[in-house]
Amino acid sequence: MSATETTKEKMLEAATVLFTSKGYHGTSIREIASKTGVNISLISYYFGGKQGLLEALMTDFLEGYMEELELAVKTPHHDSYEKMLYMAERVLTFMKERHLRARFVLREMTLDSTLIREITSTYLMKEKHLYSIVLKKGIQEGTFAPVSVQWTIMQFRGMVIMPYLHHQYVREVFHLHPQQPHFIKMYRKELREWASKVLLSDSKKEEHKAIPFHHTQHQADFVQP
């Protein structure tokens, strides 16, 4: 890795941390440069300005994100149910490994600046498309109940990104840490549970026996009826 690449990477990392906690506009390039340990002007030099840095950050993340989804779709599975969960799994793992950047990008996508829209819209469409394919296939196969494709995607996507976008909330209110392996394991089970209840067709429900709540053993917040 060349000197340039190393420095660039360090900059992106510093920017990620700062952007995530203070927001894009709330962070000055001076802070980024200082955190990286280089001169201010190097940011404009490498990325052509603060905005270039933002674009690099987002594009880089979204590209990786989409790649995970695409690879997941290509991977052969027993049925659409397993594929759907595998998609979530890969995306979750991907975001876990870069949870700060994930949080920042997901938040930034809630703004409606033209710039953001330009960067993200293609990816969002693609994401919808991929989920859509799998869902439709599953319904046709009879694996899934005849659910509304769009509402299901919205729900599913919402659940997948939730721990990262609402990282702060999850941590403060529930004392859970979405960047830790433990969390992922549990969250996977929750998703599976949800999917089995909401997605599966009645005929398939018995085939796919929902994983029993053995993960609840390390959770003390249950109320016995």
Residues that bind DNA (CB under 7 A): 2-4, 7, 27-31, 38-45, 48-51
State which residue, 45 or 174, has the beta carbon closest to DNA. Answer: 45
Q: If contact means CB under 5 to 8 A according to the sort of partner, which of DNA, a second copy, none does residue 40 touch?
A: DNA
**178: CB partners within 8 A, 6+ apart:** 96, 99, 163, 164, 167, 170, 171, 184, 187
* Residue 140 contacts residue 97 (beta carbons within 8 Å): no
Of 6, 22, 39, 118, which one interacts with a second copy (CB under 8 A)? 22
Query: How near is the Cβ of 41 to DNA at its closest, in Å?
Result: 3
* Residue 28 contacts residue 22 (beta carbons within 8 Å): no
Query: How near is the Cβ of 140 to a second copy at its closest, in Å?
Result: 6
State which residue, 12 or 170, has the beta carbon closest to a second copy. Answer: 170
Instruction: Quote the DSSP letter at residue 220.
Output: -
State which residue, 1 or 221, has the beta carbon closest to a second copy. Answer: 221
Exposed / middle / buried, residue 151 (Cβ in 10 Å: 0-12, 13-18, 19+): exposed
**211 is an interface residue for a second copy by CB under 8 A:** no
Residue 27: phi and psi, rounded to 5, are -110, 135
| SS3 label, residue 58 | helix
Closest CA to 30 of 10, 47, 44: 44
Of 159, 183, 188, 208, which one interacts with a second copy (CB under 8 A)? 159
State which residue, 48 or 142, has the beta carbon closest to DNA. Answer: 48
Q: Name residues contacting a second copy, limited to 52-81 (CB under 8 A).
A: none
**118 is an interface residue for a second copy by CB under 8 A:** no
**115 is an interface residue for a second copy by CB under 8 A:** no
